[in-house]
Chain A
Amino acid sequence: MTKPLLSVRDLRTHFDTDEGVVKAVDGVSFEIMPTEVFAIVGESGSGKTVTALSVLNLVPKPAGKIVSGEIIFQDTNILQLPKDELQNLRGDRIVMIFQDPLTALNPVFSVGHQIAEVYRAHRGLGKKEAHRNAVELLELVGIPRPDQRAREYPHQFSGGMRQRAMIAMAVALNPDLIIADEPTTALDVTIQAQIMEVLLRMREEFDAAIMLITHDLGVVAGVADRVMVMYAGKVAEMGTCEEVYFHPRHPYTWGLMTSITRADQRKKDRLIPIRGTPPSLVNLPSGCPFHPRCDFAEKICSEDYPDLRPVSSHGQIASCHFAQRPDWTPPAELVAGRARR
């Protein structure tokens, strides 16, 4: 069995706010294999972005703090790395693509300059050579007239082009892990598929693993190898893409699935939104954090936190008291929708 590329163990990242301590990530563990596409899915505020930022130790300070846990990347604990070694890792071995490419690119520097910076910082290339490499990368991610575009500023790019440039910046040094935080959310629907395509092509080209963070299970389908569903800073369910799609065991995952709009949606199967809003991370509900919104909650759900337990022989796990019951299956609407697929 191959060794995992990244393994996160019992990660806890908390924020100090006016209202109290926000436990954005609270005891999350997972592993990413080399060249794997690992998806983290959840609503906003479920802790998926903070998980991603923690991997690069980029949690905004001083409010945010990684309280405990280990993040092992190729045998080194990132959280214990000295500052300069961490900087060498960032942008070189582990790279990140952010949600909104407009705000993620510095408005006062040209796109080419910002890509070239990666070569200059990590490889010590000269201005000219770095710029030439940047132009090549722009071409690689499908930006027309890259020579001219490299000299332009982010605001002169369209949303899709900006995200392509971000991807170019990310793959510049042939990384091992690409963290993509909602890479398509801020884009037009028509562009989203293109960007995913570019991202996956780059993964092929450079043999990188991808940590894909999204709130949209639809994006994940057919792309990810494994999926982790997060809720309120904790892991709700994790398994292979097929397992989570076809045999989800956590009512929250059911909710996520039924609330996806699909092209083949029929009028009679309505969208079933998950009722209520995500809980305040300062004051989590007792027991299972999902129980106030769960249609299947029983007394025990408000009393005990359900530990993650195996629900299949291949390693699927779920955090639900009833997940191991053989008759624990999704409601009819979901079954109907799935059958049509």
Chain B
Amino acid sequence: MTEVGGRQQQEEALLAPSEDEFHEFEDAGRTQFQIAWRKFKRHRMAMVGMFVLIFLYLVALLAPWITPYDPNSGCPRFGERKETCSPLSAEVLADSNQAPSLKHPMGTDNLGRDWLSRVMFGGRVSLAVGLGVALSAGLIGTAMGSLAGFRGGLTDNLLMRVTDIFLAMPVLLVLLIASKWLSGTTRNIVIILAFVTWMPAARIVRGSFLSIKEKEYIEAARAVGVPGFRTIWRHMLPNALGPIIVQVTLTIAAAILAESTLSFLGFGISPPTATWGNMIAVQRTTMVTQPWLSIFPGLMILISVLSVNFMGDGLRDALDPTSLKVRA
């Protein structure tokens, strides 16, 4: 064992004298993950949320191969009629405005399009936007935060003022104006949403950077001659990873909601590309006559956002060291 390691453990033992925690430190990586997973598993709703989410993402991923009908034309995708069918043909229109049934579990719209197929394809976009925004916001935030935390001084001051400004903006208004300018492709919406959601991650990473910088073992590592940024980064990551994961997860929920809201207001992704938000917007007029057309896509938003939130809650408990230990 090296000098540094020995002292580190001594300090750690003073802080957390119990036998368990002492060992916990021994091989931090694996055990910490196992402890987190054990805590997470106890959250029943978080587990349910995780499985629902995996299911939804799988369905979205596989939509082109498993949907029975084409989402835009309403034609069957399999069987012999696949070749002969065309959009708006009498054959498709004969099935228009159907209430939910075995053949069309979510009904059909006035163009005879199978709503289940369309909801599945809409989910592709909505869920992809959610994940894309969360990951890019996490990346931007981590980059900004580590730059500010590592450089300190003027850079830090400047970047944190920028963060403050972004946090003080009327978000929805900025989103609307920005998406009016960059009209609604999926990629643009992801960029715009990431642009207003990166700040919390930046603050988390900056905070961890600063606290690591203070710590003694960084001094020790520096004395050995390892370049600064890499050292801090390597030490920072395990500490900040938990909060970042929680933040990224919760951003998925916020992004799905924001995308659907923008699309509903007509500023997001525009038809014929289906997203849950614009499907509801288009079917607003049929709310009374064919309520299922707006209820199902909305229900899907609710279910996916709810799952993400449950999962995020479980992750917070599992990964955040400050969360309560004693519970009944």
A and B form one complex: yes
Identify A277's interface contact among B18, B39, B326, B327, CB under 8 A.
Answer: B18
Q: Is the CB of A63 within 8 A of B328?
A: yes
Residues in chain A near residue B18, CB distance under 8 A: 45, 277-278, 280
Residues in chain A near residue B19, CB distance under 8 A: 277, 279-280
Given contacts A277-B17, A278-B17, contact A17 B326 (CB under 8 A): yes
Looking at the assembled complex, report how far the CB atom of A280 sits from the nearest CB atom of chain B, in whole angstroms. 6
**Once the chains are docked, how many angstroms separate the CA of A44 from the CA of B17?**
10
Residues in chain A near residue B20, CB distance under 8 A: 19, 280
Q: Is the CB of B326 within 8 A of A63?
A: yes
B325 within 8 A of A: yes
Q: Count of A residues near B, CB < 8 Å? A: 13
**Once the chains are docked, how many angstroms separate the CA of A63 from the CA of B324?**
12
**Once the chains are docked, how many angstroms separate the CA of A15 from the CA of B325?**
12
- B residues near A (Cβ < 8 Å) are 13, 17-20, 22, 39, 325-328
Looking at the assembled complex, report how far the CB atom of A23 sits from the nearest CB atom of chain B, in whole angstroms. 15
A16 within 8 A of B: yes
A18 within 8 A of B: yes
**Once the chains are docked, how many angstroms separate the CA of A18 from the CA of B20?**
13
**Once the chains are docked, how many angstroms separate the CA of A277 from the CA of B18?**
7
Q: Is the CB of B327 within 8 A of A63?
A: yes
Closest to A276 in B: B19
A222 within 8 A of B: no
**Central interface residue in A17, A18, A45, by most chain B CB within 10 Å:** A18
8 A Cβ contacts from A279-329 to B: 279-280
Residues in chain B near residue A62, CB distance under 8 A: 328
Residues in chain A near residue B325, CB distance under 8 A: 17-18
Residues in chain A near residue B39, CB distance under 8 A: 18
**Once the chains are docked, how many angstroms separate the CA of A280 from the CA of B24?**
14
Q: Is the CB of B328 within 8 A of A277?
A: no
**Once the chains are docked, how many angstroms separate the CA of A277 from the CA of B17?**
6
Q: Is the CB of B327 within 8 A of A18?
A: yes
Closest to B42 in A: A18
Looking at the assembled complex, report how far the CB atom of A239 sits from the nearest CB atom of chain B, in whole angstroms. 28
Q: Is the CB of A16 within 8 A of B328?
A: yes
Looking at the assembled complex, report how far the CB atom of A119 sits from the nearest CB atom of chain B, in whole angstroms. 35
**Once the chains are docked, how many angstroms separate the CA of A17 from the CA of B18?**
15
Looking at the assembled complex, report how far the CB atom of A45 sits from the nearest CB atom of chain B, in whole angstroms. 8
- Additional 8 contacts, C-beta under 8 A, given A17-B326, A18-B327, A277-B19: A16-B326, A16-B328, A45-B18, A63-B327, A278-B17, A278-B18, A279-B19, A280-B20
Residues in chain B near residue A278, CB distance under 8 A: 17-18
Looking at the assembled complex, report how far the CB atom of A137 sits from the nearest CB atom of chain B, in whole angstroms. 35
Residues in chain B near residue A44, CB distance under 8 A: 17
Looking at the assembled complex, report how far the CB atom of B91 sits from the nearest CB atom of chain A, in whole angstroms. 61
Looking at the assembled complex, report how far the CB atom of A49 sits from the nearest CB atom of chain B, in whole angstroms. 15
Given contacts A277-B17, A278-B17, contact A15 B326 (CB under 8 A): yes
Selected A-B contacts with CB under 8 Å, 5 pairs: A63-B327, A63-B328, A277-B18, A277-B19, A280-B18
Residues in chain A near residue B13, CB distance under 8 A: 277
**Once the chains are docked, how many angstroms separate the CA of A9 from the CA of B26?**
42
Looking at the assembled complex, report how far the CB atom of A170 sits from the nearest CB atom of chain B, in whole angstroms. 28
Closest to A18 in B: B325
Residues in chain A near residue B326, CB distance under 8 A: 15-18, 63
Looking at the assembled complex, report how far the CB atom of B283 sits from the nearest CB atom of chain A, in whole angstroms. 48
Looking at the assembled complex, report how far the CB atom of A281 sits from the nearest CB atom of chain B, in whole angstroms. 9
- Produce 1/0 per residue, A1-38, CB < 8 A to B: 00000000000000111110000000000000000000
Looking at the assembled complex, report how far the CB atom of B72 sits from the nearest CB atom of chain A, in whole angstroms. 51
**Once the chains are docked, how many angstroms separate the CA of A18 from the CA of B325?**
7
Residues in chain B near residue A18, CB distance under 8 A: 39, 325-327
**Once the chains are docked, how many angstroms separate the CA of A19 from the CA of B328?**
12
Looking at the assembled complex, report how far the CB atom of A227 sits from the nearest CB atom of chain B, in whole angstroms. 24
**Once the chains are docked, how many angstroms separate the CA of A15 from the CA of B39?**
19
**Once the chains are docked, how many angstroms separate the CA of A18 from the CA of B209?**
31
Closest to B35 in A: A18
Closest to A278 in B: B17
8 A Cβ contacts from A38-83 to B: 44-45, 62-63
**Once the chains are docked, how many angstroms separate the CA of A62 from the CA of B39?**
20
Residues in chain A near residue B328, CB distance under 8 A: 16, 62-63
Looking at the assembled complex, report how far the CB atom of B66 sits from the nearest CB atom of chain A, in whole angstroms. 41
Identify B22's interface contact among A45, A277, A279, CB under 8 A.
Answer: A277
**Once the chains are docked, how many angstroms separate the CA of A277 from the CA of B9?**
14
Residues in chain B near residue A19, CB distance under 8 A: 20
Looking at the assembled complex, report how far the CB atom of B183 sits from the nearest CB atom of chain A, in whole angstroms. 51
Residues in chain A near residue B327, CB distance under 8 A: 18, 63
**Once the chains are docked, how many angstroms separate the CA of A89 from the CA of B41?**
44
**Once the chains are docked, how many angstroms separate the CA of A105 from the CA of B326?**
24
**Once the chains are docked, how many angstroms separate the CA of A45 from the CA of B325?**
16
